[in-house]
Structure 1
Amino acid sequence: MQKSTKRKIRRFLLRVIPIGIVIAIALVAGARYGINLGTLLTVIPASALLVALWSLASGRSPRKDEILETVYSSSPDEWEYKDSEGIYTYKKNTDVRLEDEDYQSRMDFDEPWVHNYSNSTAYRRSLYIYHRSSLIDKKTIIQADETRVFIPLPTVSDLTITQDENKLGQIVNYNKRIDGPRGNHIQRYERYLDEGGITVQPQTRENRNILNRVVSGVKSVISV
């Protein structure tokens, strides 16, 4: 039997067996405590559905939008940065990480807004979002004021960045080795945005898919 077939059978059994166990427990409990058949016919399908949803949710890999939601809804202090590797690891789920583009790959950058700073030297680098070994997304970060601040690339027309890009800017600036307490790094970053004439767009991210919310709710109930 091929390995792929074995994996499919194993996944099927892992999803079916818990449902069978729930049904068996319900039948035994019904016989022991005198629960009528009508009640059992209501409880068994509902319980089986909850187990099936939980099994399905726990057995699949997160979708791209779920990974991005994890990143963009996080707090800057929930990341651990290794300067020697240029990697930001999400503490609550170490499968999720951000990676700086190699320092040697940076490119000179020059747009009018970088001349608003005391030093107009700036560089363009990429920031990669990963889930395990899978590349989820790539964003452009500008090292401005001679690398003193890290700003997501704003649109040329109106010098704006999205809420998501702003969150990346907060994460990067909070965790980089900059003089002073980390709590001040976000304020420092925001001052640089103001000085550069860069504004953050209103929140436009879509809510999570309703099914994802239902599955998350089911998992939280089962884990109680």
Structure 2
Amino acid sequence: MTYDELMSIIDKSRQDDWIFSDERGIYTYKNDLNIRIERPDIDHDADKFSGEDWATRHPDPTAYRVIYEIFYGASFVKEIFMVSVDGHRATLPLPDRKTLTITRQQYRFAQIVDQLGTLDDYMKRAGLEVKE
């Protein structure tokens, strides 16, 4: 499998294409068990994310950087940086700072890891838009 093939599979997948273990922070792709996404535990001191209004304008202004890691078998493929906002009620893609836009690929990935179903509501609240 090539990098482009793997990223295309992830981009075209939906949340229900993945087996999720919240306790382990692991997503496994049902159609190819070699593909997985891992969410390491957040270090609440080291991973604080501040200084950007879109991330802190929520009832709980504390935000944390979250790094998702994509693997194929034992091979590390890519890191995806996101931000957990409002007491971990949503995880948002890291937007372009000037335009507050994200790519369609970022949005599709965020849909996969949106376990609470809050992505779209929090994107509106944060002022984030998908650029076409």
Same fold (TM over 0.5): yes
TM-score relative to the length of structure 1? 0.56
Q: Distance in 2 between matches of 1:115 and 1:96?
A: 33
Cα displacement (A) at 1:101: 2.3
* 1:78 counterpart = 2:17: yes
> What amino acid maps onto 2:108 in structure 1?
K
**1:103: how far off?**
2.6
Partner AA of 1:68 in structure 2 = M
Give the aligned residue type for 1:96: I
Instruction: Give, in whole Å, the separation in 2 of the partners of 1:116 and 1:90.
Output: 34
Q: Which position in structure 1 is the counterpart of 2:5?
A: 66
Displaced runs of 4+ in structure 1, greater than 3 A? none
With a CA cutoff of 8 Å and minimum separation of 6, indicate the structure with the bigger relative contact order.
2
Shift of 1:116: 2.4
Equivalent residue runs for 1:139-178 within 5 Å: 139-173=80-114, 176=115, 178=116
Aligned-pair Cα RMSD in Å: 1.4
2:48 to 74, 89, 108: 108
Tell me by how many angstroms 1:160 deviates. 1.0
Q: How does the TM-score come out when normalised to structure 2? A: 0.92
Unpaired runs of 5+ residues, structure 1, are 1-61, 179-184, 203-224
Is the 8 Å Cα contact of residues 56 and 63 (structure 2) preserved in structure 1? Answer: no
Structure 2 alignment gaps of length 5 or more: none
Q: Normalized per residue, which structure has more strand?
A: 2
Q: How many residues align?
A: 130
More helix by percentage: 1
The one-character-per-residue Cα deviations of 1:184-215 (angstroms, maximum 9, x if unpaired) are: x1xx310110110000111xxxxxxxxxxxxx
Q: CA separation in 1, counterparts of 2:25 and 2:56?
A: 27
Larger Rg: 1
